Amino acid sequence: MQKRWNVLTADDSKVSALFAELKIHRTLCRILVQRGIDSFEKAKAFFRPALNGLHDPWLMKDMDKAVERIESAIGAGEKILVFGDYDVDGTTAVASMFSFLSKQYSNTEFYIPHRYREGYGVSKMGIDFAKENNFTLIISLDCGIKSVELITYAKSLGIDFIVCDHHLPDANLPPAVAILNPKQVDCTYPYKELCGCGVGLKLIQALCERWQKPDEDFLEYLDMAATAIAADIVPLTGENRIIAFYGLIKVNENPSIGIKALLQLAGQQKQVHINNLVFIVAPRINAAGRMDDARKAVQLFIEKDFNKALAFAEMLHNDNTDRKEADLSITEEALSIIGTNAEWTGRKTTVVYKEHWHKGVVGIVASRLIESYYRPTVVLTRSGDIVAGSARSVPGFNLYEAIHACRENLLGYGGHFAAAGLTMLESNVPQFIDQFEAVVTSTIAPHLLIPEIVIDAEINFRDITHNFYNIVQQMEPFGPENMRPVFITRNVTETGFSKVVKEKHIRFVLKQGDIVLTGIGFNLADKINLLQKDQLIDIVYTIDLNEWNGVQSMQFKMIDINTPENNKQENLF
């Protein structure tokens, strides 16, 4: 699949000014300026995150009300229910809040809604459970900001809500006694991009201050908050960066029993980076809710006995194995449907439906299909008497608006710019497929149907030194708005030693001037024809460190390659 190469630019005067202050490679200064780090003080805060950079929790709107309501509940002997969503952000938030509160007050329990019986967020079943068991205060985490009717219902039953959420509020807010959400228009909290677990952590921090507890009493949950940040794809800037930075230190030095059990079961022995949380820990937590019941994810995180934690971790591990098998089989079936149907040629969308597909993985399958066909995608399955599914977009296209335009064929829908969920009658599936195609065709810009590679800077092989790499590594943890730097090097030649490995990948041995570097390009075997003797090529890659027999050497992880002529013809820059 051909890709667009987008090489970023930066203000040269700001780059020069930063270079004069930092005295590091000018290219690294350029990347920092691109990311809004254009002064010595900003660079110091970026490269040396400090826990004293965490904001005062009392700056968050309604924090005083939330703390006072919790204190009054404890004083009156009320039962408190900690309620959260079934994904990583929700379960880590619930585990953190429940663990903290239950140390101070035993009359506390937690509740995770079942993905298929109750659906996302605050549920009527959960409120009814609270009423039947005499809970009079619910603390909702990673959900609740849009639950106006349900929280009104709870209030009519004598149940108060404290909402801790990070999703964008509507104009009409639920009648909670306190709403902690920095995205509220009248909330002056300095950092707006906390995840749900992060908002919960700020409440714990405020309670620690009110009860004169040491900072360690809320810092012990940093590893779970870092996991939530990694999984929820929130920006790794500001306060999130501080939490993730120190959360990773805790994961590596003194992880919570639950995270330690998951890492041990997955065979993770090397230093844990943010991508390990994304690809090892998070999928196992999410799998609990996708395949069964997410309650056991919370049980894992609150367990104090390591052997018991291992038993819960094994349950999550098995759920994840089932999830991967379902994901693989459904993806293969969906690709077969598309590949054998001539009607798909020229389409701007992908919509596939089989009634037997597992509802818990259709969103993952939609993302997989985009990797192959790169167009707005909907994967549908049967759920009881209706058809339900998940949709995923390509970057830059507002998927929610496209689905909203098809609402006449839907029973319900919800989501945001990049992802959505929807339900419909089976009889409306053909009309929806046609309408969705028509809406997307008429609104999507053609270039959005070509994958884009964002390139931070151009460098030469002589720039790739251990010192250069070490500074890049100090930019971790990587994530949204602080991705691992991607580089382009032009006019590189093949040495004659590059080769295809395992039929799909290429082991590169390339030369620029008198410098030879090696690297790996996964799933790039179809590009091997570009590696001809004396043929100049341009390469896009990230830098990595290879260690063999105790010797360290720089290498690259190839993202894409092309010839300079092709780049000019296809106007990819």
Count Cβ atoms below 10 Å from residue 133 Cβ, excluding itself.
Answer: 11
Q: Which two tokens stand for residue 33?
A: 């300026």
Write the DSSP string, 253-278: HS--HHHHHHHHHTT--S---HHHII
Q: CA 329: distance to chain centroid? A: 24
Ordered per-residue pLDDT tens for the chain, 573 residues? 789 999 999 999 999 999 999 999 999 999 999 999 999 999 999 999 999 999 999 999 999 999 999 999 999 999 999 999 889 999 999 999 999 999 999 999 999 998 888 877 899 999 999 999 999 999 999 999 989 999 999 999 999 999 999 988 989 999 999 999 999 999 999 999 999 999 999 999 999 999 999 999 999 999 999 999 999 889 999 999 999 999 999 999 999 999 999 999 888 778 899 999 998 899 999 888 888 889 999 999 999 999 999 999 999 999 999 999 999 999 999 999 898 776 777 899 999 999 999 988 999 999 999 999 999 999 999 988 999 999 999 999 999 999 999 999 999 888 788 888 899 999 999 999 999 999 999 999 999 999 999 999 999 999 999 999 999 999 999 999 999 999 999 999 999 999 999 989 999 999 999 999 999 999 999 999 999 888 899 999 999 988 888 788 899 999 999 988 776 655 544
Report pLDDT for 572: 47
Count CA within 13 A, CB hemisphere, residue 359: 16
Q: Where in the chain is the domain with CATH 2.40.50.140?
A: 452-570
On whether the CB atoms of residues 142 and 89 are closer than 8 A, the answer is yes
Q: CA 195: distance to chain centroid? A: 10
CA distance 45 to 48: 5
User: 407 — phi, psi (to 5°)?
Assistant: -60, -20
> Helix 88-104 vs helix 196-210: angle between axes, to the nearest 10 degrees?
10
CA distance 356 to 238: 44
Q: Where in the chain is the domain with CATH 3.10.310.30?
A: 341-449
Count Cβ atoms within 10 A of the Cβ of residue 77 and give its class: 0-12 exposed, 13-18 middle, 19 or more buried. Answer: exposed
pTM, to two decimals = 0.91
On whether the CB atoms of residues 164 and 203 are closer than 8 A, the answer is yes
CA distance 54 to 205: 10
On whether the CB atoms of residues 37 and 21 are closer than 8 A, the answer is no
CA distance 479 to 244: 10
On whether the CB atoms of residues 140 and 163 are closer than 8 A, the answer is yes
CATH number of 341-449: 3.10.310.30
Which superfamily, per CATH, for 452-570? Answer: Nucleic acid-binding proteins (2.40.50.140)
Q: Which residues contact 239 (CB under 8 A, 6 or more apart)?
A: 53, 54, 55, 191, 193, 194, 198
Q: Which two tokens stand for residue 448?
A: 């959005």
Q: What is the CA radius of gyration of the chain?
A: 25
One-letter amino acid for residue 42 of the chain: K
On whether the CB atoms of residues 82 and 161 are closer than 8 A, the answer is no
- Per-residue pLDDT tens digits for 276-333: 999 889 999 988 888 888 999 999 999 999 999 999 999 999 999 999 999 999 999 9
Q: Among candidates 370, 288, 84, 108, which has minimal Cα distance to 200?
A: 84
Report pLDDT for 415: 79
Report pLDDT for 292: 81
Place of tokens 């009860």: 211
Domain 57-317, what fold? inorganic pyrophosphatase (n-terminal core) (3.90.1640)
Report pLDDT for 551: 84
Report pLDDT for 533: 83
CA distance 240 to 237: 6
